[in-house]
Amino acid sequence: QVQLVESGGGLAQPGGSLRLSCAASGFTFSIYAMSWARQVPGKGLEWVSGINSDGTYTSYADSVKGRFTISRDNAKNTVYLQMNSLKPEDTALYFCIKSPTARGTPGFLGEYDFWGQGTQVTVSS
């Protein structure tokens, strides 16, 4: 069965960095787009960033553009989210999500068919 296991969350200071990882299994990772989404308690889900199946196309929400970088290693079945210049408003539960297509649809969370359990990111001094 499909499994997405996130790691790398934790506590960071404003201006600091964290790198999230998502280990995928149970499907042919290299042929599907992947994304990251996040949820703040009491608020809705927000799509954060996406990458196509071969890693040649990436997209970002305006709120993280220029600070976050998504990448993938298809040999390791892993997708990453490098988060720099972190802000308190980046505090959220971050989810790794799988698209049923090779390209994915940036921003459209309804498309994604599998979600990980999430990893908590807290940005605070």
Q: What is the band of 94 on the pLDDT scale with cuts at 50, 70, 90? A: very high
Mean pLDDT of 26-52: 95
Percent of the chain topping pLDDT 90: 89
Q: What is the band of 110 on the pLDDT scale with cuts at 50, 70, 90? A: confident
For residue 81, the Cα-to-chain-centroid distance in whole angstroms is: 6
- 44 Cβ contact partners less than 8 Å away, ≥ 6 residues apart: none
User: Does residue 107 register a pLDDT over 90?
Assistant: no
